[in-house]
Amino acid sequence: MSGAPATVAVSPSRTLLAEREAAAAHQPRGASVAITGLSRSFDTATGPIDAIRGIDLSIRAGEFCVIVGPSGCGKTTLLRIVAGLEHGTIGSVNVAAPDRGVPKSAMVFQGRSLFPWLTLQQNVAYGLKVQGVDRNTRASLAAELLQTVGLSRFAKSYPHQVSEGMRQRTAIARALAIKPDLLLMDEPFGSLDEQTRLILQEELLKIWDASGQTVLFVTHSIDEALVLGDRILIMSAQPGQIKKEILVPFPRPRTLTDVRSNSVFAPLFTEIWGVLRDEVGGGRLGQAGATQ
Ligand SMILES: Nc1ncnc2c1ncn2[C@@H]1O[C@H](COP(=O)(O)OP(=O)(O)O)[C@@H](O)[C@H]1O
Ligand SMILES: [Mg+2]
């Protein structure tokens, strides 16, 4: 590992930002999502597991929707079903693109998801290659996105030569490259140190403000949920159901410091933790009971 600094300030490329601002100016260009009666169970050696049960959820175009919930409550399962990587046992998911075309979604996972044999730039360009975009266009779009996430200097580096924060930035740039209508993020900052996490949260807010994309974001962190989200959905312990919905009142565009110093931040944090604490405790007790 090179130990290169991960705290590179973002310097969004003008053309990319201008394009996104124009697109987002008055009209979100993201997809809308309608989930109805969605349940998923898995057959395992010890019997079926109900991962999620009876999820009903509508996400409007351009919304930043955050899911928090205890470990094992089905957050990843839900995201994978919305991404089309997995299917529900019953229920339906409908993702509608704003132009009524085929919606494009992209997923950012926690931890190692880059191809280790490709440079950062090649990783970012990968989805474009799959879409058949020509080599020159791919290269210029990838270079532009790497600039957006502050990584131009590392375009020719390989994932193992840069820090974890830089790899996550690259994964975000790769997801943005295909201009998704829906960005699905599964604890993307979960393995990062606190400072890198704060910087990436701020960068994501800027990118989202300019893009108009719909985001469905999973996190363990109440703080992160409040900083980023328009709406927070709190899931119950397994089987995961939506237990509570919180509308986040902070104005946009947001900065981390504005949000944290807002007088409503602490009461909202306490309210969310109150709901989560019951679920985390209940889930642990339930699991302990099941193994005894
Ligand atoms: N492919 C699978 N096969 C069997 N069980 C699974 C599978 N995927 C997830 N599960 C189980 O479903 C539950 C929810 O998992 P997951 O969606 O990963 O939760 P979370 O992301 O909230 O931690 C867990 O009990 C997990 O073990
Ligand atoms: Mg998960």
Total number of domains constituting the chain: 1
pLDDT reported for residue 20: 45
Structural domain includes residue 238: yes
- Ligand 2 center to 76 CA (angstroms): 4
Residue 71 CB less than 6 A away from ligand 1:
yes
146 occurs within a structural domain: no
- Domain extent, residue 255, equals 62-86+179-285
Nearest residue CA, atom 17 of ligand 1? 74
Those residues with Cβ within 8 angstroms of residue 268's Cβ, 6 or more apart along the chain or in another chain: 226, 246, 248
The distance of Cα 189 from the centroid of its chain, to the nearest Å, equals 9
The answer to whether the peptide bond before residue 253 is cis (omega within 30 degrees of 0) is yes
Report yes or no on 82 lying in a domain.
Answer: yes
In a domain, 225, yes or no: yes
- Tell me if 87 CB under 6 Å of ligand 1: no
Two structure tokens written together for 113: 């998801």
Q: Please name the residues in contact with 182: beta carbons below 8 A apart, sequence gap of 6 or more.
A: 30, 31, 33, 82, 95, 103, 104, 105, 106, 213, 214, 215, 216
User: Is residue 147, in this structure, part of any structural domain at all?
Assistant: no
State residue 287's pLDDT score. 52
The pLDDT value given to residue 247: 96
CA of 22 to the centre of ligand 2 (A): 34
The kind and range of the H/E element at 219 are strand 214-219
Q: pLDDT tens for the chain, 292 residues: list them.
A: 333 333 333 334 445 444 444 444 435 679 999 999 999 999 999 999 999 999 999 999 999 999 999 999 999 999 999 999 999 999 999 999 987 788 899 999 887 789 999 999 999 999 899 889 999 999 999 999 999 888 999 999 999 999 999 999 999 999 999 889 999 999 999 888 899 889 989 989 988 888 889 999 999 899 999 999 999 999 999 899 999 999 999 999 998 999 999 999 999 999 999 999 988 876 555 554 443 3
Q: In what order do the strands lie in the sheet with 105-108?
A: 105-108, 182-186, 214-219, 64-68, 231-235, 242-247
Q: Is residue 195 part of a domain?
A: yes
**Tokens coding 101:** 């075309």
C-beta of 49 in contact with ligand 1 (< 6 A): yes
CA 273 to ligand 2 centroid distance, Å: 19
Å from CA of 81 to ligand 1 middle: 12
Separation between Cα atoms, residue 91 and residue 198, nearest integer Å: 37
pLDDT for the residue 27: 55
> Which domain CATH number covers 220?
3.40.50.300
Closest atom, ligand 1, to C-alpha of 44: 4
Query: Does a structural domain hold residue 153?
Result: no
Domain-located, residue 77 = yes
